[in-house]
Amino acid sequence: MSIAAKFEIEYLQYLDAEGKQVRDDLPAFTQDLEYMVKLYKLMMSTRVFDAKSIALQRTGKLGTYASCLGHEAAHVGIGSAMKPEDVYAPSYREYGAQLYRGVQPREVYMYWGGDERGNDYQNEPARHDFAWSVPIATQCLHAAGSALAFKIRGEKRVAVCTIGDGGSSKGDFYGAINIAGAQNLPMVAVIVNNQWAISVPRKIQSGAPTLAQKGIAAGLYCIQVDGNDIIAVRKAMEDALERARNGEGGSVIEAVTYRLGDHTTADDARRYRGEDEVKEGWAKEPMKRLRNWLVAKGVWDDAKEEAWKAECDDWMDNEVNAYLETKTQPITAMFDYTYAEIPADLEKQREFALALEKKAH
């Protein structure tokens, strides 16, 4: 019998759950220990930000919020590997990547607080990234379109999108990676596999041994990495971005991690998963392993940890205050930024809304 095709999926890991190296060929960027400390600091900042966000929601100062607890290595690894000229199309949870690229917590809060101005990122390079995408997987098509534009223009830029394990079952994801493969587009799709699509577990989400292999049918390079090992995530991203930038095609990266918190603040994960599973997830969480590795290298200790936490608290107090002090938009804003020329029916609604507002005052 002849064989039409064969494939295998590489698994990449450098640090185990305790922060011990499982291989000696560490990437070149790990030689810069100051840089590795910087990555750890951002992971810690992201976790402090996340805790503050949930507290804001619980006290009625923020709308529904999607926590990133446990995803710090995956998200910071993605953002730190990208170049400023690249474009990022996120879903709604990848704050670590966005903070690295200049998004401010106050902007995150504006968005989740119902103010679309939060999507208007003020800092580069985030300013040319896409807005948050709550509709599942639509951002993958935005990334594919951007990648096509880069190819047509002859620009050495890469479009990156992130998607969850459940989202990778959507037709939008398959359509995006299919066109990326067919047109040899500079696109990297990262499946952040946190084991749960709200209450649907990975084991019934797909019958495939890996989610990375979904890219095989599209003709893309595929790899699965330990999503709690920032070295592995960043290395896989670095390689995928370089291939795409050099015209060697796109990639699908599956970063295997675990959602330590609820899906969002509107969810209660205790209804569908047990304590033992969550405890196992905490044993593999990303912060501990990088911290242990840095301590072993002699560049981190408890005193530095406490000092940085204090800085993070001050930083977040400032960001929260900036958010709470932001003036609300006029009621007309919902009409003024939808069409270049407002249709007659919306003009009537605009006038009605103004009249109601005037009457209320």
Residue 286 · residue 230 · CB < 8 Å: yes
Beta-carbon neighbour count of residue 167 at 10 Å?
23
- Give catalytic residue positions: 259, 263, 272
Task: Tell me the percentage of the chain whose pLDDT exceeds 70.
Answer: 100
For 95-117, the pLDDT digits (tens) are 999 999 999 999 999 999 989 89
Q: pLDDT under 50 in the chain at which residues?
A: none
What are the residue boundaries of the structural domains of the chain, listed by start?
A: 10-328, 331-360
Q: Which CATH code, of 3.30.310.40, 3.30.750.24, 2.60.40.730, 3.40.50.970, is assigned to 10-328?
A: 3.40.50.970
**DSSP sequence for 71-125:** -HHHHHHHHHHS-TTSEEE--SS-HHHHHHTT--HHHHHHHHTT-GGGGS--STT
Coil/strand/helix, residue 161: strand
Residue whose token pair is 């534009």: 149
CA distance 12 to 164: 19
